[in-house]
Amino acid sequence: RCKEECVVADKKRSYPGSIGTWFVQDQLVTDSQRQMRAHFQGSVPHGDKLLYSSIVHKFDRHGYKKRDRVLLLTTTTLYLVVEEGKHFKSKHKLPLTAITKVEITSQSDRFILLRLSPEHHKTDKG
């Protein structure tokens, strides 16, 4: 076993040089998105902290039209915000306690599915 480890030492692809991109907390790219993030940070409730922000895509149930959303994750809540011109509108505010399961597809499509507890199901399908 020692011989095997010595042979492959420093040759594995999992060493830091082979890792493409490390985790980045802010995935927002446009100036307006970054301004929205800065404005949001100032309005986060006391004791809550913004942990992660990224662009995500929602697909309509009929026609599968792609809609861009901004995902903002705090220590207690997940927010989905839509950019409307120079303004931003909150589409969903979901407490993290409502999420019962996070599923990530095994394919390279990078889909994530959030399962909610039944009491958080609404008539809103968004």
- 70 lies in some domain: yes
- Our count of domains for the chain comes to 1
- 9 lies in some domain: no
Q: Specify the residue for token string 């792609």.
A: 66
**21 pLDDT higher than 90:** no
Which ranges constitute the DSSP H helices of the chain?
2-8, 31-43
pTM of the complete model: 0.66
- 112 lies in some domain: yes
- 126 lies in some domain: no
Secondary element (H or E) of residue 56? strand 50-59
- At 5 the pLDDT is 58
Q: How much of the chain, in percent, has pLDDT values that exceed 90?
A: 6
The mean per-residue pLDDT over the stretch 2-14 comes to: 58
Look up the CATH number of the domain holding residue 77: 2.30.29
Query: Smallest Cα–Cα separation from 41: which of 60, 23, 58, 25?
Result: 25
- 125 lies in some domain: no
- 14 lies in some domain: no
Quick: pLDDT tens for 38-77.
777 777 788 888 888 888 888 887 888 988 888 888 899 9
Average pLDDT, the chain: 76
Place 93 in a pLDDT band, splitting at 50, 70 and 90.
confident
In whole angstroms, give the CA distance from residue 91 to residue 70.
10
- At 100 the pLDDT is 93
Domain that holds residue 78: 21-120
Structure tokens at 65: 């039209």
The one-letter amino acid at 10: D
- 34 lies in some domain: yes
